[in-house]
Every structure is written in structure tokens, then in C-alpha cells.
């Protein structure tokens, strides 16, 4: 058995264009109807002295929330903060307190998302805070994955990313590997 990483998929999708057209049709049909709920997530990642700061927002019909996390160069959370600008219940802002539990979590290690569940239990946090932290963790890893040396292109770059960042293995079709 070879240790070489071999991507499972190496050709473009033959179905994607048709599914894109189906999306366009469904989107138009939905927008012609009555909007009953809307939710938007946004995230930004900034390189700063000594690491990174992520900023993540959730806005919907009931919530307006913000989470900021600072990571050191290795992916360890060193600081965490949050704010609830709009929320349905007076107890909701208590969920922001759970962000303190993230200090020390390492987003770059395998199983990083399990750390969110362990460190921000739903009974102390909330689903929305956990969703925002998950998005922030992913943004950090995506950003680090795009720091590729000159000359890394195409399938060869994909293989190298999978080798260097084992967390991305089998996370999507582009990083699926042959068994």
C-alpha cells in the first residue's frame, strides 16, 4: 500500500451546471413567494502582530450577534470576546460568557470542532454562538490552507495541502482521497 496521497476526484463535475440551473429556478420561485425567515453569517480573518483575529457575525430576524477570537501563529485561541446586539430573551447574552472557555483550544489540531462542543456546551452557550465559532475556526484553517508557496498549482498543490493539513482530508470532494 502506497503512502502517496491520491485525490479521489480529478475531473470536473458533469452535473454541476444542471444543478446550478435548478438552483436558479428554485431561488426565483422562492423569491416570488413570501419571505418567512432570513439569516446571514459573515466572517473575516485579519493577520495581526503575533497571530490572527477572526470576526464573525450572525444576523437574522431575532438575533444580531458578534464573536471575535484571537489565534496565535499555531492556531491556539488566546483571547475571545462577543456581543449580542439583538436577542429574543434577556438571558441570551449569558451565552457569550462561554467564549472564555475557548482560550487554549487549538483550531489547527485534528478534532478541533469537537473542542467547540466540549468547551462551549449548549447549556452554557447556545447553538448560534457555537455555529459562529465553528465558522471562525474554519476561516482560520481555510486561510492557512491558502498560504501556498509559489509554484504550487492544480492537483499537485491539492496533494500537498492534504499531506500538510490532514484535517482537510475527506472534508469535501476536492480533498477526498482514494482509500
d(CA 125, CA 16): 38
d(CA 150, CA 100): 38
Q: Which residues pair with 77 in a beta bridge?
A: 71
Q: Answer positive or negative: Cα dihedral of 28, 34, 37, 42.
A: positive
Domain borders along the chain are: 39-145, 149-179
Give the per-residue pLDDT at 1: 46
Q: 72-83, pLDDT tens digit by residue?
A: 988 999 999 999
CA dihedral 106, 111, 115, 117 (to 10 degrees): 150
Q: 35-62, pLDDT tens digit by residue?
A: 999 999 999 999 999 999 999 999 999 9
Identify the segments of the chain with pLDDT beneath 50. Answer: 1
Look up cell 488566546; give the residue.
78
Give the per-residue pLDDT at 148: 62
Could you tell me the pTM of the whole model? 0.79
Q: Quick check: 99 and 129 in contact, CB under 8 A?
A: yes
End-to-end CA distance of the chain: give it in Å, rounded. Answer: 10
Domain boundaries 39-145, corresponding CATH code: 3.30.390.50
Amino acid at each position: 500500500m502506497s503512502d502517496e496521497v491520491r485525490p479521489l476526484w480529478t475531473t470536473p463535475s458533469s452535473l454541476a451546471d444542471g444543478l446550478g440551473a435548478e438552483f436558479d429556478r428554485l431561488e426565483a420561485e422562492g423569491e416570488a413567494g413570501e419571505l418567512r425567515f432570513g439569516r446571514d453569517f459573515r466572517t473575516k480573518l485579519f493577520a495581526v502582530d503575533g497571530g490572527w483575529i477572526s470576526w464573525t457575525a450572525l444576523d437574522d430576524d431575532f438575533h444580531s450577534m458578534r464573536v471575535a477570537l484571537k489565534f496565535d501563529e499555531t492556531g491556539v485561541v488566546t483571547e475571545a470576546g462577543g456581543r449580542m446586539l439583538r436577542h429574543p430573551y434577556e438571558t441570551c447574552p449569558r451565552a457569550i460568557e462561554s467564549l472564555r472557555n475557548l482560550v487554549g483550544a487549538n483550531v489547527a489540531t485534528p478534532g478541533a470542532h469537537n473542542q467547540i462542543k466540549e468547551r462551549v456546551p449548549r447549556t452554557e452557550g447556545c447553538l448560534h454562538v457555537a455555529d459562529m465559532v465553528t465558522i471562525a475556526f474554519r476561516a482560520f484553517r481555510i486561510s492557512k490552507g491558502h498560504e501556498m508557496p509559489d509554484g504550487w498549482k492544480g492537483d499537485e498543490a491539492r496533494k500537498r495541502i492534504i499531506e500538510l493539513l490532514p484535517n482537510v482530508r475527506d472534508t469535501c470532494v476536492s480533498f477526498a482521497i482514494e482509500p
